[in-house]
Structure 1
Amino acid sequence: MTTTPPPPPPLLSAQGLHVVFPGRHGAPGARAVDGVELDIRPGEIVALVGESGCGKTTLARSLLGLVKPSGGRITFAGQPLEYTSRALKAYRGRVQLVLQDPTGSLNPRHTVYDAVAEGLRIHGRTGNERAAVAEALAHAGLRPPERFFLRYPHQLSGGQRQRVVIAGALVLEPELIVADEPVASLDSSVRGEILALLLRLRAELGLAALVVTHDLGLAWNIADRVAVMYLGRIVETGDVEQVLTAPRHPYTQALLSVLPEAPGEPVVLTGEPPDPSRIPAGCRFHARCQILASGAADRAGVADACRGEDPQVLPGTGAHQAACHWARAGITA
């Protein structure tokens, strides 16, 4: 009898993570990240999806050690993240950030060579700097790399600039990258090339990635697993095919309904997300929920729970799950 081997332990794990930004003049603090559980395994690509302002960038910054959590903890390779300068410097050599705006990420006065070599110099890496820079540029798809050494950012296309930013992350040989909207500023013709590059880097280098995006179509093309975030909390998680073909949370359903290829009419969410300093009782999505608004939740007998009971925090990994009373009752619309 063949048994399935257990999955490898997480490379990066957030456990009960909270980030609260203090309010002004005694006002309540904004709960930007509110009890998040999230695991990323070696070689895995996880897409963190949600509207602007849902907390996904704050979560990403806390996972990078750029924002210290108000509660909970982060572990990397089984070890708790420490917040001393020395520990954070070592950690950021293993976990690298790729920003969405390559023009803003690159110093216009630095050549490509200096831009990529900067990380080596900051971290005091010894060895053959020229060879390391060339290897990183080659991995990022800029070949032959020596042809790009003396170029400046303004002499490159948008896609080439993004590849230089990726090379700057790769030169430190990280185990995980956090890519914040990595193709948002690129032309559609270039987006596919950069996504294919990220997949190739995973295959060649075993690189894990957290890709932060508002685009569920991007998640479909690149991710192994999806975490959908709303008002500081992950409300649905699972394998990409499960979440995007059979979404359980009304918020995920609404996000998917506006994609060009989606069947039926798009779901128009009413109002704006609540203020994170005044998160409502019950399900934090209930004031905008199309199922509650339609009366279907009342007919199914879960409306009171939607309005009064906060769904439990989802675990960081595992089966397809949604923090939704409707979904947990096993009801289909």
Structure 2
Amino acid sequence: MSETTGKRRTSEMSETGGAGAMGGAGETGGTSESIIGARDLVVRFPAPGGRTARAVDGVHLDLAPGEILALAGESGCGKTTVARTLLGLEKPTAGQVFFQGKPLSYRGRDLKAYRREAQLVLQDPSGALNPRHTVYDAVAEGLRIHGMHRDERERVADALSRAGLRPAEKFFLAYPHELSGGQRQRVVIAGALVLDPKVIIADEPVASLDASVRGEILALLLRLRDELGLAAVVVTHDLGLAWNIADRIAVMYLGRIVEYGTVDEVLTAPRHPYTRALVSVLPDSPVGRSQVLTGEPPDATTVPGGCRFHPRCPALASGAAEEAGVADDCRSTPLPLLDPHRPGAACHLIAAGHKV
């Protein structure tokens, strides 16, 4: 679980609990300390044949100021849809997104103001930057959209400098094709920073970069957190990245968060069978022998009953769930949503007091 950059933790959360079940969604957006959150979040899309894709199927989430939360899981698990919904780019089918304890408003003016506070950093910097725009124009675009024309040149230079492009003026007239991949990603980050946001949503922020550059960008995100107090949700399928950058991790499977906890807790002592399988393939894995999951993740239009992971669960296949007397529950009894403030895993076997 090593990367080229180190990690600095904020204070570890010490809440304890069993399976971490949520007793019920509150009327407000989580704790008074949370900067962004979601309650009972559901996002559904129409699919061919009159079917409905349950992309996000009940998620509670809270992010504290200055915290980095990794949202991890396989492709298609719903993590990018959660990120887009947190940004207001998708409207929930049910549930609510909260910002600083207040429900997100989807009126045009309110949503525009919110997007100054919560900024997106995309996976592919080449696709995120207009090849016909200079670096200066790319970074200044947000200022112009929000009518923040005062001190534009100084704001752009400051954002580029914070993103590690110094001297900033050297890059003003450069075009994206003249920059390296790492420099383009820094321009994208500068375009977010120029608006002085409180939250960054980063969707696979280093997936398209060479290994030699990945550590630099991760170190930059950590430095911005420490210097500016920025909170961030980092969407990733890479648990090594989560290990190096995040304070907490939420592991998603088929539209639900199946395990919450600090990165150290989850990646050194994973509890949910799905998390254990993901961690098992990491170098120096604490799980031991690699676990290969059978089959493909189910389609979001055909979510299994009971525990949605049960068709691929090693604990059910091995007979461990049968021995514990929870096999029928695994196949038929839905699990409660997890509380983002308590480490836990949504698993019938764990709820019955057994180890996976």
TM-score by length of 2: 0.90
SS at match of 2:39: strand
Instruction: Say what the alpha-carbon RMSD is for the aligned residues.
Output: 1.5
User: Residue by residue, what CA displacement relative to the aligned partner does 1:214-273 show, whole Å, maximum 9, x if unpaired?
Assistant: 011100100010000000000000111111111110000011111133253211111111
Query: 1:300 aligned to 2:324?
Result: yes
Aligned match of 1:146: 169
Correspondence 1:93 to 2:85? no
Preserved contact between residue 8 and residue 42 of structure 1 (Cα < 8 Å): no
In 1, Cα distance between equivalents of 2:95 and 2:32: 22
- Give the whole-Å Cα distance in 2 for the aligned partners of 1:274 and 1:105: 31
Q: 1:288 aligns with which of 301, 312, 321?
A: 312
1:158 partnered with 2:176: no
Q: Which has the higher contact order (CA 8 A, sep 6+)?
A: 2
16-25 or 45-54, larger mean C-alpha shift: 16-25
Match of 2:89 among 43, 66, 69: 66
Structure 1 position 309 matched with structure 2 position 324: no
* Contact 2:40 2:59 (8 Å CA) reproduced: yes
Which residue of 1 is the match for residue 157 of structure 2?
134
Alignment of structure 1 residues 52-201 onto 2, 5 Å: 52-201=75-224
Q: What SS is found at the alignment partner of 2:205?
A: coil
Paired with 1:12 and 1:255, the residues of 2 have a C-alpha distance of 27
Q: For residue 329 of structure 1, what is the aligned residue in structure 2?
A: 352
The AA in structure 2 aligned to 1:108 is P
SS at match of 1:143: coil
1:83-107 deviation line (CA, Å, top 9, x unaligned): 1111111111100000010011111
Q: 1:5 to 1:244 in 2, by over 3 A?
A: closer
Q: 1:203 aligns with which of 226, 229, 253?
A: 226
User: 1:314 is aligned with what amino acid?
Assistant: L
CA contact (8 A) 2:204 2:235 kept: yes
Aligned residue pairs total 328
> Per-residue CA shift, 1:110-161, capped at 9, x if unaligned?
1111110011001111311000000000100111111111111111111000
Letter in 2 for 1:100: Q
1:23-74 CA-partner distances (Å, limit 9, x unpaired): 344x231110011000011111000000000000111101110011000011
The one-letter code of the counterpart of 2:276 is Q
Instruction: Output the amino acid matched with 1:261.
Output: D
Structure 1 residue 319 displacement after superposition? 2.3
**Shift of residue 8 of structure 1?**
5.4
Distance 2:178 2:51 in 1: 48
Give the whole-Å Cα distance in 1 for the aligned partners of 2:57 and 2:14.
33
1:29 alignment partner, SS class: strand
Does the Cα contact within 8 Å between 1:224 and 1:239 map onto a contact in 2? yes
Residue type of the alignment partner of 2:156: V
Q: Within 2, Cα distance between the matches of 1:10 and 1:31?
A: 27
- Cross-structure match for 1:238: 261
262-271 or 213-222, larger mean C-alpha shift: 262-271
In 2, Cα distance between the equivalents of 1:10 and 1:251?
28
**1:141 and 1:287 mapped to 2: Cα distance?**
47
- The residue type equivalent to 1:162 in the other structure is Q
Read off the aligned partner of 2:71 and give its amino acid letter: L
From 303, 322, 326, the equivalent of 1:279 is 303
Q: C-alpha distance in 1, partners of 2:223/2:124?
A: 21
One-letter code of the match for 1:212? V
Partners in 1 of 2:137 and 2:39 — Cα distance?
A: 37
Is 1:19 paired with 2:47?
Answer: no
Q: TM-score, normalised by structure 1?
A: 0.96
- Greater shift in the superposed pair: 120-129 or 4-13: 4-13
Amino acid at match of 2:242: A
The DSSP-based 3-state class of the residue aligned with 2:51 is coil
Distance in 2 (CA, whole Å) between partners of 1:327 and 1:157 is 47
